[in-house]
């Protein structure tokens, strides 16, 4: 029985300052190399994200994750090509163990321009309701604290009044 082909993850970090055409060309060449000797399982564009540390005075990079099956020759060709390709900040090829789940969805949250106005309006109404509830709770808590403080002040004044009365005689 033939063992199933291993699954690999290629995490590709591209220079965000490079021309969009250059980044598109790199992505296309990577996919072509993989498909020439293997097969692509998944292609995830995570967009421009902040890196964990600066590389060449740059704090952001464009991230892509390509999952694929392929022989060692594909891995060697990818490594050789990506090492010398301008526009590639870093890359890493990882062999996945059997049973590893799907990659997480790390796409950026939609910007306000991408969210429909009715959704924004609904979220604003909900936010206003939450703020009103919190303000009401704060006012109630302040009233309870003021009442408790008034009771303590009254008790202290009563004790002071009782202890001061015999001394005056």
Contact 87, 30 (CB under 8 A): no
Q: Minimal CA–CA distance to 32: which of 89, 72, 96, 77?
A: 77
Cα separation of 11 and 63, whole Å? Answer: 7
pTM: 0.58
Q: What is the CATH number of domain 7-96?
A: 3.30.70.60
Q: Could you count the other beta carbons within 10 Å of the beta carbon of residue 135?
A: 10
Query: Tens of pLDDT along 72-82?
Result: 899 999 999 99
In whole angstroms, what separates CA 77 from the centre of its chain?
Answer: 32
Strands 88-96 and 7-14: antiparallel
| Count of CA atoms in the C-beta half-sphere (13 A) of 135 | 6
Q: How far apart are CA 70 and CA 41, in angstroms?
A: 11
Alpha-carbon gap, residue 95 to 9, rounded angstroms: 6
d(CA 14, CA 22): 10
Instruction: Show the beta-strand stretches assigned E in 75-136.
Output: 88-96
Tell me the per-residue pLDDT of 11-51, one tens digit each, with 9 for 90 and over. Answer: 999 999 999 999 999 999 999 999 998 899 888 888 888 88
pLDDT above 70 covers what percent of the chain?
77
Closest by CA position to 63, among listed 77, 44, 81, 80: 44
Q: If you average pLDDT over every residue of the chain, what do you get?
A: 81
Contact between 23 and 12 (Cβ < 8 Å): no
Q: What share of the chain has pLDDT > 90, as a percent?
A: 34
pLDDT at 124: 65
d(CA 48, CA 60): 7
Measure the CA–CA gap between 51 and 91, rounded to whole angstroms: 13
> Given a cut of 70, is residue 153 above it in pLDDT?
yes
């Amino acid at each position: 029985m033939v063992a199933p082909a291993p699954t690999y993850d290629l995490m590709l970090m591209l220079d965000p300052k490079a021309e969009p055409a250059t980044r598109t060309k790199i992505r296309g060449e990577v996919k072509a190399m993989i498909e020439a000797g293997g097969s692509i399982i998944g292609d995830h564009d995570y967009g421009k994200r902040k890196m964990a540390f600066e590389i060449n005075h740059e704090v952001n990079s464009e991230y892509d994750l390509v999952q694929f099956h392929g022989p060692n020759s594909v891995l060697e060709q990818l490594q050789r090509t990506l090492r010398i390709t301008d526009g590639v900040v870093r890359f890493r090829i990882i062999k996945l163990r059997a049973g590893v789940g799907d990659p997480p969805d790390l796409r950026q949250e939609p910007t306000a321009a991408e969210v429909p106005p009715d959704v924004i309006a609904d979220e604003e109404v909900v936010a206003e309701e939450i703020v009103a509830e919190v303000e009401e709770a704060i006012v109630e808590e302040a009233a309870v604290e003021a009442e408790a403080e008034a009771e303590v002040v009254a008790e202290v004044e009563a004790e002071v009044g009782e202890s001061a009365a015999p001394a005056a005689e």
